Amino acid sequence: MLDEKDFITLVRENQGIIHKICFLYEEDREARNDLFQDVVLQLWKSRKTFRGEAKATTWMYRVALNTAISGVRKKSRRPSLEYLDQRHDNLADVQPENREEKTRMLYEAIRTLAPVDKAMIMMALDELSYDEIASTIGITPNNVRVRMNRIRERLRKKLKTP
């Protein structure tokens, strides 16, 4: 089982997964902070189920998505894109603006998807295999493939719409 030091290193190195899930499943900063805290606590409680030979990202996705999708939290009243606004401000000096705009558009497009679709596209973008996505969601790899076509089509339309 992971000790505290190894656990913290694992979370620090893979925290991008948690931040992305928080951003895509919660709409305001307070709710995202709460979700981040809940995910880290759930990972900590579930650490005995993490086997070193398995991919850390698959395990983290499983626990984080279960926490985000099936957890009951206070719902925010208004949607906010402050996360990306902040990102834009901070990276504006070092990266061309159109890249930031593309990032914003991608996140916005994914946010409009249904909860399961969001989960599937996130894992696909993080290069998890269809088998890993299927076992995390609880469906067959073939169904993942079929659904992914539809999600890709939806995303393509959203990203092309001005």
- Taking CB under 8 A as the rule, does residue 49 contact other proteins? yes
Give the span between the Cα atoms of 134 and 120, in whole angstroms.
Answer: 9
What mask of x and - would describe binding to other proteins in positions 68 to 87, judged by CB under 8 A?
Answer: -xxxxxxx-------x--xx
Residue 65 contacts other proteins per CB under 8 A: yes
Distance, in Å, from the CA atom of 67 to the CA atom of 126, rounded to the nearest integer, reads 19
Query: Residue 145, interface with other proteins (CB under 8 A)?
Result: yes
Tokens of 36: 């981040």
d(CA 76, CA 28): 6
Shortest Cβ 2–other proteins spacing (Å): 12
Cα distances (angstroms) measured from residue 63 to each of 10, 44, 49, 68, 127: 14, 10, 10, 9, 18
What's the DSSP call for residue 47?
G
Please select the residue that binds other proteins; options are 6, 85, 92, 99, rule is CB under 8 A.
99
In the bound complex, what is the minimum distance in angstroms from residue 87's beta carbon to other proteins?
Answer: 6
Minimum separation from the CB atom of position 100 to other proteins (A)? 9
How many whole angstroms separate alpha carbon 88 and alpha carbon 82?
9
| CA contacts within 13 A on the Cβ side of 154 | 15
14 near other proteins, rule: CB under 8 A: no
Asked whether 100 and 85 are in contact (CB, 8 A), the reply is no
Question: Closest CB to other proteins among 29 and 162?
Answer: 29
Q: Using CB under 8 A, list all residues that contact other proteins.
A: 4, 8-9, 11-12, 15-16, 19-20, 34-38, 40-42, 44-46, 49, 62-63, 65-67, 69-75, 83, 86-87, 90-91, 95, 99, 102-103, 106, 114-116, 119, 121, 124-127, 135-140, 142-143, 145-149, 151-152, 155-156
